[in-house]
Structure 1
Amino acid sequence: MNYIGHIKLVNGKVPSDSLLLDEAEIAASRRVELLVQTHDDPVMKLYLWDKAAFEFYEKFKASGGTARVILVTTLNPKRFGGVLSLSAMASSQVFLDSDVQETLFYLSWLNSNLDVASRVNAEVVTKPEPATLGELFSYMNQASAKVGWFECTATIDGVVHCSGWYYIGCGVCHTKATKGPTTLMCKKCGKSEIIGVAQYLTKLSVYDRNDQAVFVVLGDAGEELTGKKAAVLVERYYQANDSVGGDHIVSVPQAMIDTIGQTRKFIVKVSNHNLTAKTQTLTVTKVLPLEAPKPEGNLRENVGEEADTEREDHADESVKRGADGIESEGVKRAKCG
């Protein structure tokens, strides 16, 4: 079968003119994962393998990350993790935007029906499968496991403070910048002079009812967790400590420390590094908002008193957890190395 539609996600990322695909990652995994929607039909997962993956990579790169319509021929319906998906075959061909008449017609429809095209939020359609920490560790050890995203509920036990909590990245693609003789450079963009922007790269010790883990919170996920941009926190630190040099280690901000004790829902990625047993540290790509507590019982009786007591207890616990600087007591502490 053939399939045509508009692209919602490419390897978990929303298409944009600043989206640069990682050629090395595609070469290692030999695949590209797309979320594609035909008109206002349900969103489908589309897996491109080997030749089809590289054909897509080259064409998407040539479009500057702006390609929106895709047609793939000779697809095989399969199930991955219980979800019906479409998988490319050796004979599959990939066409984008104005490559052929079919994609050109669809692109014309898309430009005339942007309200329909944007009806499904690209951040929601991924619908990561819920999993406990133990289930994630078990999944990573399965021979059939693939790169994927999962929703995991865990409590933050501490910040692993033996490593920095942020990095300086390219202002365009967010790849870690490299130092040149006099400027910052970006290997991914191929630019010898860029503007560096602080991005979250924070290791958290977390736990659920049965297991412990280390999460690495990256980029926007850090802002979703703390409510603060990393660049703003770094700038404030240097403004308050104007005598320190540029290579000074910026201490973990209070906004991050204040998250200790919170139980949050994280979207974590099981990467190729996890599947090859190189690391069990999981990357957080999104932190879901805190849910408002649901009222219980008679709302008119004792609610205010109970709520105040609960807030005081929570505040006492937060102070206790933050008393020794970064890590909390009562749970095995995260170690360096």
Structure 2
Amino acid sequence: MANPQVLLADLNAGRCSNVAEVRLLRYWEARNVRKGGELMSVDMLFVDENSTLTQGSVSANRQLRFRKRLSEGSLYTLTGFDVTRSNTNFRLCDAPFSIRFNEGTSLEKITASARPIPTELFRFMPYGRLLELANTGKQLPDIIGELSAIRSTITDRIAGAQRVMLTLRLESGENVCVSMFDSLALAFHTKFDSYGREPKVIIATGVNPKIVGGRLFLNATSSTHLYFDSETAAGKKLFDTLPGHGAVPGESTSKVVHAQKIEPMTLSELNQFIITAESQIIEFLCTAKVTGIQQDEGWCYIGCSGCSKKLVREISSFTCLSCNETNAVAALRYRVALSVSDNTDTASFLAFDTEMAKLTNLQASEAAQIVGIGVDAQVDTELPQSLADIVGKTYTFQLKLNDFNFSSKHQTFTISRIFPERVLAPMPAFVVTEDGTVPADAQAGDLPHGTIGNVGITSTGADKPTTSDASTGKRPPPAKDQDDDDKTAPKKAHVE
């Protein structure tokens, strides 16, 4: 006797022996960035006939059994799985429960279904909602917009130094910036180069809204998939509203604003450059040894837990001018001045919270505590061992120079990324799925506090050229993400 059918919305915690008929929308890898990118699981997003989105996961030790069966856009029957409560952070869907594959799980592909299961479903959110979600880590929404500009930096595939910034114009008129780093950036370029033309419309799924320096950024996460123009019904709908359906005869203006290599420099060349060159915004790579940590101004500061800006100390509270919050929640943040040298010269580099936390695997709040509040607040100034341990080690530093660096007041260079070794980053691996599509297997990028990295499969979009009228659902998304520099200027295009 066949097992009864169950809808995703009707799942309850425990082992489920009923049959769920679903469509696999997307899947990606979850990796632990603190353990060298060790594979933890393969995660996926399912939808059923009621347009209910539910996240699924198969652990690393079972993923080989199911991996070859996974085909984005295909229909499946799913039974014998565990139902567990969903994580409340970085959500890709609103379902209270998630699906976990176990030793008895059956996943069988079917060619057709009598049930009207959507062929695509996105969780687009208005600009105001994106602002509300910024820096909360609660939801990872999807975004759709008209492509206005592409900014990218290329660094000889040095691990971690790639980035792409897409400026998208929303239908409501606002411009937003979608940022991609490392192998996700490389995967975007691969898809972009093979597409044959510059896309007019882009959909990015599972982005993490962040406000940095007062600007909204939508950071791609490892669950992020990109779709161009008419590769989806939602994209085609917007594409068809553009002048000439997005194809303007004779148009030659490129949306690629900048694609420049970040050049390596010695310290001597760097120090000479700021004396002789014109004031500009530019980035360089310098490999140098840390010879000491300057402690004249300490190694940390009391910052806003939301935007990371330095707080103003009031009599009995903290004020964040950036957030306009008179009773801000304080958090300890790194501000570390490094003395560095190579065989040509010496210099002072300044590193902030994000990069130092990743380098030391220790949050500033774990290394010391804030005692008191307001004007009475104090922080232990003793140098943590985790910082002392980096003295004597050699790193490759990505430095961002701005107008200040070319002034007479310049004393330090601000670090935007730190790489332990100058190693070539692996290109994304490309595999052909069962339906003939070629997804790009991206590597783990920056994630909130460097915990778990999901490695996404950046789809070519050719696997889902669909016209379902149920394709543009308005539910909010989940997933996991990627971080911004909280102190330095937002990660943006190279020379402007």
User: Aligned equivalents of 1:274 and 1:176: distance in 2?
Assistant: 21
SS of 2:378's partner is coil
Question: Contact 2:349–2:414 at 8 Å: present in 1 too?
Answer: yes
The residue aligned with 1:34 is none
> Against the structure 1 CA distance between its residues 143 and 200, is the aligned structure 2 distance closer, same or farther, given a 3 Å change threshold?
same
Question: Contact 1:164–1:249 at 8 Å: present in 2 too?
Answer: no
> 1:258 deviation in Å?
1.1
> 1:127 deviation in Å?
5.8
Indicate whether 1:198 and 2:335 are aligned.
no
SS of 2:399's partner is strand
Indicate whether 1:146 and 2:241 are aligned.
no
> Against the structure 1 CA distance between its residues 99 and 280, is the aligned structure 2 distance closer, same or farther, given a 3 Å change threshold?
same
The residue aligned with 2:383 is 252
CA offsets, 1:280-300, max 9 Å, x none? 3111122113479xxxxxxxx
User: Aligned equivalents of 2:289 and 2:418: distance in 1?
Assistant: 12
1:269 to 384, 400, 405: 400
> Against the structure 1 CA distance between its residues 167 and 248, is the aligned structure 2 distance closer, same or farther, given a 3 Å change threshold?
closer
1:98 to 171, 176, 188: 171
User: Aligned equivalents of 2:395 and 2:413: distance in 1?
Assistant: 15
Indicate whether 1:281 and 2:412 are aligned.
yes
The residue aligned with 1:174 is 308
> Against the structure 1 CA distance between its residues 61 and 115, is the aligned structure 2 distance closer, same or farther, given a 3 Å change threshold?
closer
CA offsets, 1:188-230, max 9 Å, x none? 0111111111111011111011100011111111113322111
Write the mapping of 1:118-267 to structure 2, written as runs, cut at 5 A: 128-235=262-369, 246-247=377-378, 249-267=380-398
> Against the structure 1 CA distance between its residues 135 and 291, is the aligned structure 2 distance closer, same or farther, given a 3 Å change threshold?
closer
User: Which structure is higher in helix share?
Assistant: 1
What percentage of aligned pairs have identical amino acids?
Answer: 24
> 1:138 deviation in Å?
2.2
Question: Contact 2:394–2:420 at 8 Å: present in 1 too?
Answer: no
SS of 2:323's partner is coil
> 1:63 deviation in Å?
6.3
User: Aligned equivalents of 1:169 and 1:209: distance in 2?
Assistant: 36
Over aligned residues, Cα RMSD in angstroms? 4.0
Larger relative contact order, structure 1 or 2 (CA cutoff 8 Å, min sep 6): 2
> 1:263 deviation in Å?
0.6
Write the mapping of 1:288-303 to structure 2, written as runs, cut at 5 A: 288-290=419-421
> Against the structure 1 CA distance between its residues 95 and 257, is the aligned structure 2 distance closer, same or farther, given a 3 Å change threshold?
closer
Question: Contact 1:137–1:280 at 8 Å: present in 2 too?
Answer: no
User: Aligned equivalents of 1:115 and 1:205: distance in 2?
Assistant: 38
User: Aligned equivalents of 1:112 and 1:63: distance in 2?
Assistant: 12
> Against the structure 1 CA distance between its residues 248 and 115, is the aligned structure 2 distance closer, same or farther, given a 3 Å change threshold?
closer
User: Aligned equivalents of 2:265 and 2:385: distance in 1?
Assistant: 30
CA offsets, 1:104-149, max 9 Å, x none? x825x4459975439xxxxxx9863222112222222244341122
Structure 1 runs of 4+ aligned residues shifted over 6 Å read 60-63, 65-68
Question: Contact 1:166–1:200 at 8 Å: present in 2 too?
Answer: yes
User: Which structure is higher in strand share?
Assistant: 2
The residue aligned with 2:226 is 117
Question: Contact 2:302–2:310 at 8 Å: present in 1 too?
Answer: yes
User: Aligned equivalents of 2:276 and 2:128: distance in 1?
Assistant: 33
> Against the structure 1 CA distance between its residues 183 and 154, is the aligned structure 2 distance closer, same or farther, given a 3 Å change threshold?
same
Question: Contact 2:331–2:365 at 8 Å: present in 1 too?
Answer: yes
Query: TM-score, normalised on structure 2?
Result: 0.35
SS of 2:269's partner is helix
Question: Contact 1:224–1:289 at 8 Å: present in 2 too?
Answer: no
Q: Give unmatched runs, 5+ long, in structure 1.
A: 1-59, 78-93, 119-124, 239-244, 293-337
> 1:183 deviation in Å?
1.0
User: Aligned equivalents of 2:335 and 2:281: distance in 1?
Assistant: 20
Question: Contact 1:133–1:213 at 8 Å: present in 2 too?
Answer: yes
The residue aligned with 2:195 is none
Residue type of the alignment partner of 2:339:
S
> Against the structure 1 CA distance between its residues 106 and 195, is the aligned structure 2 distance closer, same or farther, given a 3 Å change threshold?
same
Write the mapping of 1:48-127 to structure 2, written as runs, cut at 5 A: 64=131, 69=145, 71-72=147-148, 96-99=169-172, 106=201, 109-111=203-205, 115-117=224-226
> 1:279 deviation in Å?
0.7
User: Aligned equivalents of 1:95 and 1:154: distance in 2?
Assistant: 38
Q: Give unmatched runs, 5+ long, in structure 2.
A: 1-126, 135-140, 152-166, 177-199, 208-222, 228-258, 424-496
> Against the structure 1 CA distance between its residues 68 and 281, is the aligned structure 2 distance closer, same or farther, given a 3 Å change threshold?
farther
Question: Contact 2:279–2:402 at 8 Å: present in 1 too?
Answer: no
User: Aligned equivalents of 2:285 and 2:421: distance in 1?
Assistant: 14
